[in-house]
Homo-oligomer: A and B are copies of this chain.
Amino acid sequence: MLKNYRITISYDGTRYDGWQKQKNTENTIQGKLEVLLSRMAGIEISVHGSGRTDAGVHALGQTANFRMDTELSEEELFRAMNEYLPDDIAVLDLRIASERFHSRLSAAGKVYRYRLYVGKGKPVFERKYVWQLSEIPDIDRIREAAGYFIGQHDFKAFCKNHRMKKSTVRCIRRIDVEQSPDGKEIDLTFEGNGFLQNMVRILTGTLVECGLGFREPEQMEEILESGERNRAGRMAPAKGLILIEVKY
C-alpha cells in the first residue's frame, strides 16, 4: 500500500546545483533522493520539497514528502536512506504522514538564517557557511532597515526577475539581527509565510549595504513601492544562507 512519507532533511549545499531536479544535471538534492528511493522501490518515486533552495544554499531542516510502497518499517527506511545518501545529505526524521500532507502546500511558514562573518582573519572551519565581510556593518542600521520589511508587502523588487503573473506578496513575521557572543558573526534570521526566489539573499545584500552606510534605512520603503529589482541591493552569496525550519 502506498504510504505518504514525510522527511526532514539536512544538507550541505556546497557541491550541489540546488534542491530542484534539473534536466541537465543529476547533481541536485531532490535528484539524489529520487534516484535512491526509486532504486529501493523498483519504480520511479517523486520527492516533493517544501520549496527550492538555490545552488550552494544549505538546509538544517528542509521538509519533503514522497509516496512509496515498501515493507520496510519507518526505522528501517530511515536507516537505509542515511546509509546510502552521500555524507553531506542526512535524513533527520522520517514518519508516515496523513494522505493529505503536502510539504509545499501544507507549509505555514519558513525560517531562514543568513550568517555574516565579521571577525578578523579567515573563518577556516566556517568558510563554506558564511559570507565574510571586510568591514563591520552597523547592526542598528541593519535592524532599522529590516523593520521596513516586517508585515505583508509586495516583494517584487526583492526577487529574481520573472515575467510571470504569480503574486509576489509575502508576509515576513520577524527578522532577528544578532551578533554572536564572540562578536565574530552577525546572524540574520528571517521568518515568513514564504519567500520568493533569491528573496532572502537580496534582502540580506540590501540590509548589509544599509549597515555599511551605502544606503539609508528609510530607502527600503521606496524600494518596496517601486517593485524594481535594480533599485534593491546586490544579492548576497548563496553559501551564507541556510533553511532552518519549515513550519506546518
Please report A residues at the B interface, Cβ cutoff 8 Å: 10-12, 58, 82, 85, 87-92, 121-125, 127, 129
Contacts and interface: CB of A to CB of B under 8 A. Distances in A.
B58 A12 contact: no
Question: So how many copies of this chain end up in the complex?
Answer: 2
Interface of A is mostly: loop
A12 B124 contact: yes
Given A12-B124, A87-B122, 9 more contacts: A10-B124, A10-B125, A11-B124, A12-B127, A82-B121, A82-B122, A87-B124, A90-B124, A92-B121
21 contacts: A10-B121, A10-B122, A10-B124, A10-B125, A11-B124, A12-B124, A12-B125, A12-B127, A58-B125, A82-B121, A82-B122, A85-B122, A87-B122, A87-B127, A88-B127, A90-B122, A90-B123, A90-B124, A91-B121, A92-B121, A125-B129
Indicate the member of A11, A88, A89 with the most B CB atoms within 10 Å: A88
